[in-house]
Every structure is written in C-alpha cells, then in structure tokens.
Amino acid sequence: MTRWLTDDEQHTWRAFGLAMRLLTDRLERDLQAAAGMPPTYYELLVLLSESPDRTMRMSELAHWTNSKPSRISHAINKLEQAGWVRREHYAGDRRGWLAVLTDEGKAALETAAPIHVESVRTHLIDLLSPEQIRQLGDISQTLLKHLTDTE
C-alpha cells in the first residue's frame, strides 16, 4: 500500500527539492565565475589540503566524494593539466595512485575558498537563524546517517 504524502509533506518535499537545486546551482555558478573551477575540483582540492602531506589515495577521493573511480581519475587529469595536482605511485600497491596537492593547487584553493565561503554565507547561512542552522545540521546528520547506512 502506497503511503502518499500529505499536502503539507508534499509542499515541504517540493520546496526542499527546488531549494537544494537552486542553491547548488547558485553555488556552482558563483565558484565557476569567480575562481574558474567547478565544485567537484574545489571539493577535491579541499580534501587534499586537509590530508596529511596534502596527499590522498585516488580510491579515498572517490569514496569521500561519493564518485566512481573513473570520474575521479578524469577530474585529477584536469587538475594535473592545471598544475594543481600531481599523481604519484602508492608505494604499498603497484596499481594504486596518490593525488598530491601542489603549491599552485594550494594557491588556487586559497583564492577560491573565500569566494565559495561568501557564496555559502550569502545564499544559506546568513538567511537562517542560529536555531535554524542547528536544526538544518540535525536534519542533515539524520539524512547522512540513513543514506550512508543503507548503501
């Protein structure tokens, strides 16, 4: 038996879905226009910058971005061409590769980060009260726990 959404649930679901699409689109456009990089590249640079020695296995990058290895490989190729990342063989696995954030990549991230943070602040954080931010955090954690536990 189908558990149809109530009118209130339907309204909330549709507003949430549209708001997420519009927010994601706005953040992507702002980052691309101001820093010349898509969000996927920004996310990879952030992950590398936060890793020991600014280095991660390609498989870890795929895991943390919920991406297929081929997609990460393609993105790393583009980041290599820009001089922002270099690949190295992983000593513990002849088939494994590491991605390493270069000094140029760190500089690109340092240029992009304030622009991205301002966009996030302008289009999300500053619109919400501290209580709404806390609630959004709780809701997001609930969704993450469910979606990561069921895969």
**Number of helices (H), then strands (E), in the chain:** 6, 3
Which domains does the chain carry? 24-149 (1.10.10.10)
What single letter denotes the amino acid at residue 36?
G
Q: Read off the pLDDT band of 150 (50, 70, 90).
A: low
Which pTM value belongs to this model?
Answer: 0.86
> What pLDDT score was predicted for residue 94?
73
Q: Is the pLDDT of residue 5 over 70?
A: yes
**What's the pLDDT tens digit per position in 70-129?**
999 999 999 999 999 999 988 877 778 999 999 999 999 999 999 999 999 999 999 999
Separation CA 90–CA 75 (nearest Å) = 19
Cβ count near 84 (within 10 Å): 24
Q: What is the pLDDT of residues 14-63, one digit of tens each?
A: 999 999 999 999 999 999 998 899 999 999 999 999 999 999 999 999 99
Please, is 100 exposed, middle or buried when counting C-beta atoms within 10 Å of its C-beta (0-12, 13-18, 19+)? middle
C-beta separation of 133 from 125 below 8 A: yes
The encoded tokens of residue 26 equal 């706005």
Helix H segments across the chain? Answer: 7-35, 39-49, 58-64, 69-81, 103-123, 130-149
